Amino acid sequence: MGSVTRASLDQKLALAKRSSHEGVMAGAKAAVVATVAAAVPTLASVRMLPWARTNLNPTAQALIISTAAGMAYFIVADKTVLASARKNSFGASYKADI
């Protein structure tokens, strides 16, 4: 088993930072889409449905919209980081086999 060099650690750190950044960007894009997708029907229903007008105050509306955005962010960011880690893991094992 070979020794770990500073260069290899720096390379792994750079790869991890890039993977994290990709996850954050993908999660942010998904959160924006989810915000719009949740806001339109929520705000429309509050204007059109008497039940929603009575029971969904502005705080409830914001909670519905922000929950959808938060869920989308964390799900997509997690999947992106895991996919990147899987890709890099297979790439490293493939290179080691050659």
Interval 53-79: pLDDT, tens: 999 999 999 999 999 999 999 999 999
Residue 16: exposure state from Cβ atoms within 10 A (0-12, 13-18, ≥19): middle
CB of 19 within 8 A of CB of 81?
yes
Average pLDDT, the chain: 88
> What pTM did the predictor assign?
0.77
Low-confidence ranges of the chain (pLDDT < 50): 1, 97-98
